[in-house]
Structure 1
């Protein structure tokens, strides 16, 4: 049977979602705890691959297991997991459904604080620059006119340090800044995102808000399809994966 698992995590102490050698990742912790409790080797596939330090308020993953999962299993799993990870639900889905490839929309939010606060530093970025929010929103609207986001993608490389050709096409549904109580929040929704794409877009929008580049220059950066023109990537601490949507027929 195929199961979906819904969870959230504080990404501060993780080197991202995906398993890597000799570092702490969310996927590694979850696989280890599932395998121990279910007494068999469990491999999970996540809906997204968040970067080092990025948080998730809602993440999904799938795994295959041939027995029925008991009602109290989620509680037992949460006791075993570190405090930085919480599982909300585990439920069966159709065998051919995939946590990553069947997701139809993902939403990220990024939080900037205008006031320095040591208690917010793990979940937002303190930005002391004066920013023109109106210009940043004008530039944000331009994002939705494009589909190739190579300019905002960290390139993958082979062992010989050669660039790997990738599919950098994304459909952006929404991108907007709003401000409340000295906090600036950027929301972006799309069918998929590329590696470091959201933080690269935000960094470039901040350059627009600081009047370091014009909206026309922002458009030229997108159209260049060259990540060398993206000069500023915001810190990971303020970024949250907040929602992943699936077709309704995924559920049994």
Structure 2
């Protein structure tokens, strides 16, 4: 049987989602707990691979087991055993071929920018005190929806078959004392959101023009885009699926 679970985590203490040698990951912590609780080696597959220091307000992952689970009891025990910065929200059974990564139809991220120093946001927002032209940044963000190939925003050394993504929405909004970038797409490349934010900030600081964004995207050259902003301001916020639940 295949189960999905929904979780959230503060990524500050972790070297990203994906399990790896000589580094602590979110995936590793969850697999250790499931192994103890189910008394079998459990491998989980996540819907995405957040980088070191990136947070998730909503992430899904799946695992297989022959055990008919008491899901409420498992949920309680997992949360009791997991670190305080990782929480599981729910566990549900899905179709046997449902896949947390490949069946996701959209993913949404937010990037939080603080323009005044706030010690309580030190691990959850990027502090940038320069004045920004947010109207220009939003004008540039709208351009993203007109393109498909985003190689210019991808990490240079990455193994992907295509650099094509469909961006459904991209917008800056003021939320209290934060300036937050919201973006939704069918998929994202490694480092893509942080590179987009860095590029838009350069436009907001008038280092580049809105029209320059067309040239940057068409160049397919990572060196032409802006510097990636720090990971601490990035949150994976929503993942959507269609018709995967059994009960």
TM-score bracket for this pair, using the shorter chain length: over 0.9
The equivalent of 2:141 in structure 1 is 140
The equivalent of 2:6 in structure 1 is 6
The equivalent of 2:52 in structure 1 is 52
CA distance in 2, matches of 1:245, 1:29: 24
Tell me whether 22-31 or 222-231 shows the greater mean CA deviation: 222-231
Secondary structure of the residue aligned to 1:59 is strand
CA contact (8 A) 2:75 2:91 kept: yes
Matches of residues 125-204 of structure 1 in structure 2 within 5 Å? 125-156=126-157, 164=159, 166-204=161-199
Q: Deviations over 1:148-183 (max 9, x none)?
A: 1100000226xxxxxx46311100000000113321
Q: Deviations over 1:127-155 (max 9, x none)?
A: 11110000000000000000111000002
Aligned residues: 245
Q: Deviations over 1:76-101 (max 9, x none)?
A: 01111111100011111000110000
CA distance in 2, matches of 1:11, 1:115: 23
TM-score by length of 1: 0.95
Matches of residues 13-32 of structure 1 in structure 2 within 5 Å? 13-32=13-32
Q: 1:28 to 1:181 in 2, by over 3 A?
A: same
CA distance in 1, matches of 2:28, 2:162: 26
Matches of residues 54-133 of structure 1 in structure 2 within 5 Å? 54-70=54-70, 71-133=72-134
The equivalent of 2:245 in structure 1 is 251
Unaligned runs of 5+ in 2: none
Secondary structure of the residue aligned to 2:12 is coil
Secondary structure of the residue aligned to 2:119 is coil
Structure 1 runs (4+) deviating above 4 angstroms are none
CA distance in 1, matches of 2:6, 2:226: 35
CA distance in 1, matches of 2:32, 2:152: 36
CA contact (8 A) 2:196 2:226 kept: no
Unaligned runs of 5+ in 1: 158-163
TM-score by length of 2: 0.97
